[in-house]
């Protein structure tokens, strides 16, 4: 055939395997499909998805096109973005620095090979709706969220107002509270809020023990006196993360009463057995 006319139309796009690391709740490899499905707790409107895709397509014309959406693809196709990757990794932590998000991409041999890297101020997407920072991701990309040395509560609250992270977290409260058990809290909540939602503290109580398990396998532990007026993120009123444990210890008096009750129960049991035995042999 001479001078054939060829027309190519994609009928589907294979999923992209992305690594999400740094300060996210669940680092690891994730497979993101071309068309992101809605979550039950994070529903996106068709309009917002369309706007996101249009902004990503527009960013392609930028000088940094290697970090933006694919050229010439149908505008109705919604490709995975940085937002999707972080959300799939279960969102951020109180130490996530969204102003320092890095994307690393492997270049094809035709483009010189090696790896290229770009830094994003992803926080501007949440605070200002800056979609240029929500770039499209390709297969093999790596997303790394920076870590702050201090709790960034304001940023956490901003993220909690979007569907980037789960809206609620669950912690466990035990000891001298009424009643002990799991407590569900909004993102960005502090320890005192957990104690209040647990039903409050008992009259006879000791110090508060705060336990957090890190991803490195370490256990962070604090022991302090309860102070209802403590500021959020103070040493004795830390910002909570999912899985934290708060235990209100016994006071000397409550511990003594507990020990007496145990001894009394033991003696009562022994006396009951003795009385039954005596009655059986009469």
Tokens of 240: 């909570």
CB 92 within 8 A of CB 25: yes
More confident position, 123 or 280? 123
Torsional sign, CA 264, 267, 271, 277 = positive
More confident position, 65 or 223? 223
More confident position, 263 or 51? 263
- For position 280, what pLDDT does the model report? 56
**How do residues 167-204 score in pLDDT, each as one tens digit?**
888 999 998 888 888 999 988 899 999 998 888 888 77
- Give the pLDDT mean for 242-262: 73
- For position 107, what pLDDT does the model report? 86
Q: Which domains does the chain have, with CATH numbers?
A: 16-160 (3.10.560.10), 168-250 (3.10.560)
The pTM for the full model equals 0.68
Phi (first) and psi of residue 211, to 5 degrees = -125, 135
**How do residues 110-127 score in pLDDT, each as one tens digit?**
878 889 999 999 989 888
- For position 34, what pLDDT does the model report? 66
Residue 249 above 60 pLDDT? yes
Q: Which of 96, 185, 192, 88 is nearest to 137 (CA)?
A: 88
Q: Mean pLDDT in the chain?
A: 78
What pLDDT band is residue 81 in, cutting at 50, 70 and 90? very high
Torsional sign, CA 23, 24, 27, 30 = negative
- For position 19, what pLDDT does the model report? 96
- Give the pLDDT mean for 212-221: 79
Tokens of 153: 């509560």
Q: Say which range, 73-77, 81-85, 123-127, 177-181, has the weakest mean pLDDT.
A: 73-77
Distance of CA 274 to the CA centre of its chain: 57
The answer for residues whose C-beta is within 8 angstroms of residue 60's C-beta and 6 or more apart is 68, 69, 70, 71
């Amino acid at each position: 055939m001479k001078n054939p006319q060829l027309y190519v139309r994609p009928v589907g796009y294979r999923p992209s395997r992305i690594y999400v690391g740094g300060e996210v709740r669940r680092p690891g490899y994730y497979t993101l499909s071309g068309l992101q499905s809605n979550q039950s707790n994070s529903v996106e409107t068709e309009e917002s998805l369309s706007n996101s895709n249009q902004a990503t397509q527009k960013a392609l014309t930028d000088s940094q096109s290697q970090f933006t959406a694919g050229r010439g693809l149908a505008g109705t196709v919604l490709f995975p973005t940085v937002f999707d990757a972080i959300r799939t990794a279960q969102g951020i932590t109180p130490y996530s620095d969204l102003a320092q998000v890095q994307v690393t991409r492997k270049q094809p041999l035709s483009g010189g090979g090696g790896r290229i890297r770009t830094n994003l101020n992803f926080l501007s997407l949440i605070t200002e709706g800056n979609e240029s920072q929500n770039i499209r991701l390709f297969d093999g990309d790596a997303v790394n969220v920076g870590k702050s040395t201090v709790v960034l509560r304001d940023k956490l609250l901003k993220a909690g107002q979007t569907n980037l992270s789960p809206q609620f977290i669950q912690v466990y409260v035990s000891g001298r509270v009424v009643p002990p058990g799991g407590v569900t809290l909004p993102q960005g909540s502090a320890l005192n809020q957990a104690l209040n939602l647990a039903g409050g503290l008992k009259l006879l109580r000791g110090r508060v023990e705060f336990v957090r398990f890190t991803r490195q396998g370490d256990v962070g532990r604090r022991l302090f006196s309860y102070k209802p007026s403590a500021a959020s993120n103070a040493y004795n009123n830390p910002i909570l993360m999912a899985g934290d444990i708060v235990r209100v210890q016994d006071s000397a008096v409550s511990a003594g009463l507990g020990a007496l009750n145990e001894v009394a129960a033991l003696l009562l049991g022994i006396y009951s057995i003795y009385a039954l035995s005596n009655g059986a042999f009469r």
